Amino acid sequence: MCSKKDLTGPTLLEMYDYSVSQDLVLLQAYYLAEASLMLMKTANRLVVLLWILTAYNYGQTTSVRTENLQNTAALNDRVAQFDVTDTTIIDALSKLSYEPIAGLHLGIEEIIRDTASEPTDRNVRFSLSLHDATVRDIIEALCKSDRRYMWSVDGSTVNAYPRETVGKSSYLLNREFGTIALKNINGPTDALTSLMKLLPDEQLGYAGIGVNNDYSEPWNAVFSNLTVRQLMNRLSEHNGLRGGWIWSGSKGQRFFAYFDRGFKQS
């Protein structure tokens, strides 16, 4: 007898499951491709946006952005009205230093004159009227009005200094030192003796501006790997919620002065 061959094939249900499975694979591949395309478009847009912002900031800003946002809240404080007329940037910073803004410390570096007989630099003068402006807005406006100066932030101090000194390692305020130990100092000026020992080739002095800048109690501190500018900032910041310092004079007669509630240029 001849045996009967098994001629059975896939059932309709099996064929349906196979078709659905293929459709699901294709659908999954489609969505993965769409997601990848969206990610690529988003990445490209971010690159373009970053490029635009970088170009904008390069053309607009006059500051070096090194600030710690937690320590520079004073930059966001607002001044109801800030007016100066036919003034210099140093005089305008003097006016700003008297604003009752807690946490605002200023470190100001004048352009050093060639000789003591040379008058204080007043070549660049300007007028400003700013309404409801932040401290940041005011400082930006001042540096745009006298482009010989720029500003940056270190700790809670806003530093304003001559643009020409940037990158000059020989400039006193840019010079770095290893370690300085301050023992029982009564005020910022006491630290200058220790600093002069570290930098014996530099001439620097102290000028009083009619106020007592002593600390509330003797201070001990050790600092390492700072610039002279950063050290001046730390000395000023320890003196209270407001204040600052100014570097001025002429070649051979350069000096620091410290203030706790504002300063007036002599």
pLDDT for the residue numbered 21 = 53
Give strand pairing partners of 129: 83
Order of strands across the sheet that contains 243-250:
63-64, 149-154, 157-162, 105-109, 243-250, 253-259, 205-206
pLDDT for the residue numbered 264 = 77
H-type alpha helices, the chain: 12-60, 89-97, 135-145, 190-198, 228-237
Measured torsion, CA atoms of residues 193, 196, 202, 205, in degrees rounded to the nearest 10: -10
Closest CA to 227 of 143, 155, 163, 162: 155
Mean pLDDT of 74-90: 96
* Residue 208 pLDDT level (bands cut at 50, 70, 90): confident
- Digit-coded pLDDT (tens) for 105-128: 999 999 999 998 888 888 899 999
Encoding tokens for residue 33?
């491709």
- Digit-coded pLDDT (tens) for 145-171: 999 999 999 999 999 999 999 999 999
d(Cα 178, Cα 47) in Å, to the nearest integer?
Answer: 40
Closest CA to 161 of 174, 145, 178, 179: 174
Does the pLDDT value for residue 265 go beyond 90?
A: no
d(Cα 21, Cα 29) in Å, to the nearest integer?
Answer: 12
Count, in order, helices (H) and strands (E) of the chain. Answer: 5, 11
Query: Residue 148 to residues 88, 109, 123, 161, 229: CA-CA distances in angstroms?
Result: 12, 12, 11, 8, 18
pLDDT for the residue numbered 153 = 95
Does the pLDDT value for residue 220 go beyond 50?
A: yes
Judge contact between 42 and 72, C-beta under 8 A.
no
Q: Which pTM does this prediction carry?
A: 0.72
* Residue 64 pLDDT level (bands cut at 50, 70, 90): very low
* Residue 129 pLDDT level (bands cut at 50, 70, 90): very high
- Return all residues near 160 (Cβ < 8 A) that are at least 6 apart: 89, 93, 106, 107, 108, 109, 139, 142, 143, 149, 150, 151
